Amino acid sequence: MSSDKKDQTVGRPEPEFKFGIGTIIWIAVGFIASWVNMLVILNSMQIWSYLTVIFTTIIPGVIIGLKDRYWGYGYMGGFAIAGIPFAFHNPAHGYLFVGWYTFATALFIFSIIMLIFWTGWRSISAIKRVEQ
């Protein structure tokens, strides 16, 4: 046994925050997807339509985030941000509730997914192994 054990980080080092054109594109895609989703909610006003916010944020957000996590964050952020102008678009006809509901739900899901990806990838990149 050698006393010269080296700690070596497994995997790549964590990249710095890259707010690039890809992130901006996914913010726009998330904004548009959210707007369409809110119109679906307003037109049907059934319980299943409120659940579409959950499915249209989690599934695409995770899939996009697996490719590049900042793109996933952009999609989720764009989805959440779209609720604010939608809420003030026509407040008398239910837009206010649907907009703030989408904003709050998407922001909550975004924070959960961000914590999962952030802590998961941080802990995976921080794993060290001992070589003999």
Q: Where are the domains of the chain?
A: 21-126
The distance from CA 59 to its chain's CA centroid, rounded to whole angstroms, is: 10
Is 80 within 8 Å of 102 (Cβ atoms)? Answer: yes
Q: What is the DSSP string of the chain?
A: --S--EEEE-SPPPPPP---HHHHHHHHHHHHHHHHHHHHHHHH-SHHHHHHHHHHHHHHHHHHHHH-HHHHHHHHHHHHHTHHHHHHHSGGGTHHHHHHHHHHHHHHHHHHHHHHHHHHHHHHHT-EEEE-
The structure's pTM equals: 0.75
Is 30 within 8 Å of 79 (Cβ atoms)? Answer: yes
Distance CA 40, CA 23 (A): 26
Question: In terms of C-beta density within 10 A (0-12 exposed, 13-18 middle, 19 or more buried), how is residue 33 classed?
Answer: middle
Per-residue pLDDT in tens (0 to 9) along the chain, 132 residues:
444 444 444 455 555 567 789 899 999 999 999 999 999 988 887 888 888 888 999 899 888 888 888 888 899 999 999 999 999 988 777 788 889 999 999 999 988 888 887 777 666 555 554 444
**Which residues on adjacent β-strands are paired with residue 129?**
8
Please give the pLDDT value at position 20: 86
Please give the pLDDT value at position 5: 45
